[in-house]
Structure 1
Amino acid sequence: MENEEYDTIDLLEVLNAVRQHLAILILCTLAAAVVGFTVSKFAMTPQYESSALMIVNTRQDTTSNVTSDQINSATKLVSTYSIIIKSDTVLQQVINDLGLSLTYGELKDRVTVDAVDDTQVMKITVRSNNPEWAQQVCNKITEVSPDAILEAVEAGSVKVISQAPVPTEPVSPNVLKNTALAGMVGLVLCLGVIFLQVLLDNKIKSEEDIAKYLDLTVVGVIPEYERGKKK
């Protein structure tokens, strides 16, 4: 153990290497950010989402007062209703009514149903690269699903409280986020290359390196100087 040698990483040496390659580090970060921006802006297809809101009730009769137990029961029914909405009973009818050139599985992947803040309101969202198509499909689902839900559950009611609008802004890709992530990746990769360069560099460059790596005492140094055009 006494004769075993260990290589240590000099943090100051790494920082000096980073400082010496600072310009390259900045260029790599900017280049990666530009690539991320270009890919997000011009190579990726924008995706739009259109959403509609539906409220779930535990019964069809809404003339009397609604109790808290009924609201809690309706909240629990949202997850059940979401499964029915994404079933082939509903989505296949949507495909047939609109004449879509999609299979049931392809349309299901574009539809999400979520509860809004653990309430009895559920949000139906359709994603597509065509905003008008997303709105049309979402509204058709809200039109078809209530009858399918009542037929399956045989209780309660579902009503649309907000129709799906035509989305104006894409939800993906997030150009700013992708640009920042690409810049960070470029920065990390460049730092990794610099770190490996310092770690694998075993050259003797100064008298301090002789004392550090060879454990020898420096007794003299021959300087290098320039005289005219000759060294």
Structure 2
Amino acid sequence: MENEEYETIDLLEVLNAVRQHLLAVILTTLILACAGFGVSKFLMTPKYQASALMIVNTRQDTTSNVTSDQINSATKLVSTYSIIIKSDTVLQQVINNLGLSLTYPELAGRVTVSAVDDTQVMKVTVLSDNPEWARQVCEQITVVSPDVILESVEAGSVKVISSASINPDPVSPNTMRNTAMGGVAGLVISLGIIFLTVLLDNKINTEEDVTKYLDLTVVGVIPEYEGGKKK
């Protein structure tokens, strides 16, 4: 019970310290939030995405009716096709066709291939600080990859169902998120400093501290004067 009482009093001390330094907490939060906004807005290069949709088929002849088994098989082939699309066989040909100055690993790092909602549709995405460059690369991937896939997986094929298009809004940096993260960091840092200050403070500052820490009764207080004024 005695320890619980001390913990409650310590918490009150922390709250009182926060109240006393509330202006500093607010200023620190605002400063780091503004720093996050400024870095995102003026120092980080915006990145854009271009994407295209391709549908996976398990057979080259699509004139006949497609069964559910074929759809399930095509869905499972998406992961296989994505590996082929990101292989050097496809991307190196894209580099050669467009005359890019990038190496294969550099281009592969900018290309993402993923299934759309676990369907037989896959999405090819290219990331770049130049939106038109991203669109051209994405479009070239959709031109080159079907023949490579057809040659590698003779029982299957892919077709473009949505040509390469650019997202007009940059996908990074996320200015709102970075601003919020900066504000949260400022709040956590300022509160952490206050908490540590209170936690490490073992000085006797008030009459209440004498009673609390020394278990003594205060019988008198000698005020300190400086220049005729009480400190």
Q: TM-score, normalised to structure 2's length? A: 0.93
Q: Which residue of 2 aligns with 1:70?
A: 70
Report percent identity of matched pairs: 77
Larger mean CA deviation between 58-67 and 132-141 belongs to 58-67
Q: Does 1:192 align with 2:160?
A: no
What is the CA-CA distance between 1:223 and the residue it aligns to?
Answer: 4.6
Contact 2:47 2:129 in 1 (8 A): yes
1:102-181 aligned within 5 A: 102-181=102-181
What is the CA-CA distance between 1:208 and the residue it aligns to?
Answer: 1.2
Amino acid at match of 1:53: L
Amino acid at match of 2:13: E
Give a deviation string over 1:144-203, Cα, whole Å, max 9, x none: 000000100111221000011133110000000000000000100000100011111122
Q: Which contiguous aligned blocks of 4+ residues in structure 1 show a shift greater than 3 angstroms?
A: 222-226, 228-231
Q: 2:162, 2:197 → 1: CA distance? A: 60
Which consecutive residues of structure 1, in runs of 5 or more, have no partner in the other structure? 1-6
Q: Does 1:45 align with 2:51?
A: no
Q: Does 1:59 align with 2:59?
A: yes
Secondary structure of 2:56's match?
A: strand
1:208-227 aligned within 5 A: 208-223=208-223
Amino acid at match of 1:216: L
Contact 2:52 2:160 in 1 (8 A): yes
What is the CA-CA distance between 1:125 and the residue it aligns to?
Answer: 0.2
What is the CA-CA distance between 1:220 and the residue it aligns to?
Answer: 2.1
Q: 2:229, 2:33 → 1: CA distance? A: 45
What is the CA-CA distance between 1:134 and the residue it aligns to?
Answer: 0.2
Which consecutive residues of structure 2, in runs of 5 or more, have no partner in the other structure? 1-5
Q: 1:132, 1:206 → 2: CA distance? A: 68
Q: Which residue of 1 aligns with 2:18?
A: 18
Q: TM-score, normalised to structure 1's length? A: 0.93
Q: 1:23, 1:40 → 2: CA distance? A: 26
| Inter-CA distance 155–214: structure 2 relative to 1 (3 Å threshold) | same
Q: 1:48, 1:215 → 2: CA distance? A: 66
Amino acid at match of 2:97: D
What is the CA-CA distance between 1:139 and the residue it aligns to?
Answer: 0.3
What is the CA-CA distance between 1:211 and the residue it aligns to?
Answer: 1.1
